[in-house]
Amino acid sequence: MSTTNVIDDTSHMPTDLVPVMEALARVGRDLCRTIKRGPLGGNALGEGVGENLGGDQQKALDVMADEAFAADLRTTSVRYYASEEQDEVVELNPEGRYALAIDPLDGSSNIDVNVSIGTIFSIFEAKPGEPDASFLRPASEQIAGGYIIYGPQTYIVVTFGAGVQSYIFDPDTNAWKLVETQHKVPAKAFEFAINASNYRHWSPAIRAYIDDMLAGE
């Protein structure tokens, strides 16, 4: 497995987590290429190949992404790996100090309709000998969390607890370039995104909030 560095500026990352982020970035780079090629790659990426523990249909690219992330992260200090595509927590490195939870490819049902899909990840300090307990804990105990979004532009967006950074994938150099070190939620916006097909399942408070946004000023 390659250990090539693909992030151009890691100065805003905790030193111990740089190898982990580099591994995520390498696989994200490769997935970006595969997704953009679609059927040109000779693979039926959106073909169903099974079902995960949560009952979701697994696509070929779900499994490919999961295997790639696990393989590259095995060379880092990630001890425990909890993936949506795995039935249980996997121990990658018995000497590692981190526990990484991941959805290798969220939204894979969008593969064949050319809509953005993404990788979601969360990192905790591992509890030695307690794989499940390393993840079943408050979100406030995360030491990092973020996502990779594969679309017209491919980004890594991540926080280590002090601001949110973003890196864009540059296909000309095959590297991730730092473009923002302190993302802020805008005070005003003109768009929102939500899966409205679940409207009937929302709580009254969520319904009221969305209805108010739809009504406008």
Which helix H or strand E contains 195, and what residues bound it?
none
- Distance CA(20)–CA(114), nearest Å, equals 29
CA separation for the pair 122, 134 (Å, rounded): 11
What torsion do the CA atoms of 118, 116, 199, 192 make, to the nearest 10 degrees?
Answer: 100
Q: What is the pLDDT of residue 1?
A: 53
* Contact by Cβ (8 Å): 46, 59: yes
The full set of domains in the chain, from first to last, is 15-184 (3.30.540.10)
101-120 pLDDT, tens digit each: 999 999 877 777 778 899 99
Report pLDDT for 112. Answer: 72
Q: Which residues contact 133 (CB under 8 A, 6 or more apart)?
A: 127
Mean pLDDT of the chain: 90
CA torsion 103→107→109→115, rounded to 10°?
A: -140
Q: What pLDDT, in 10s, does the model give residues 6-20? A: 999 999 999 999 999
